[in-house]
Amino acid sequence: MERDIESVLVTKEKLQECVAELGTRITQDYTGKKLLVLGILKGSVPFMSDLIRKIKIPIFYDFMVVSSYGFSAESSGVVRILKDLERNVEDVHILIVEDIIDTGLTLKYLKGNLLTRNPLSVKIVTLLDKPYRRKTEVTPDYKGFLIPDEFVVGYGLDYNEHYRNLPYIGILKREVYENR
């Protein structure tokens, strides 16, 4: 795996610092509120796991599987919910946890879908933000790192289901995903 990484973009230490800061801000903003932390599988798992331990208020959490990529390096633009929530979200605040915002198509669809379910609010926290690739307007309420337009893996992010377990965010060598 390591030989496929061109360079480390965000170290393990920087990830942990960022997650702690985000957890503190979220704790301040949601103190006294009923909060559902909603992870988008599979990429958000390491980030969400670390983040919820830094949120110092009672929370609920759940997961959804939403896809617009399949097994491709490019978004298809067609968003599908493969696994929905297991709870009613009426009268709760929802915080969507995403690993990366790229085109924004998936999150725009998801946020719109969730708003039809009558929550008190729907906000987004993302670890990585890639605004140069936006195809629709989506602005995260909380974000970790603004990153360049590179194919990144690690800390939950994958290419073809590989590299998720790297403890850092790395730039994948172009030949790995262009020649397959």
Handedness of CA 162, 17, 45, 135 (dihedral sign): negative
SS3 of residue 41 by DSSP: strand
Domain ranges for the chain, please list them. 13-148
Domain 13-148 has CATH 3.40.50.2020: yes
For the stretch 62-96, pLDDT in tens is 999 987 755 445 555 678 899 999 889 999 999 99
For the stretch 119-157, pLDDT in tens is 999 999 999 999 998 899 999 999 999 999 999 999 999
What amino acid positions are annotated as catalytic residues? 102
The tokens describing 163, both together, are: 């590299």
Compute the residue count for the chain. 180
pTM score > 0.75 for this model? Answer: yes
Report the mean per-residue pLDDT for the chain. Answer: 92
List of long-range contacts for 137-146, beta carbons under 8 Å, 24+ apart = 137/104, 137/108, 138/101, 138/104, 138/107, 138/108, 138/111, 140/98, 140/101, 142/22, 142/25, 142/26, 143/101, 144/15, 144/18, 144/19, 144/22, 145/10, 145/14, 145/18, 145/169
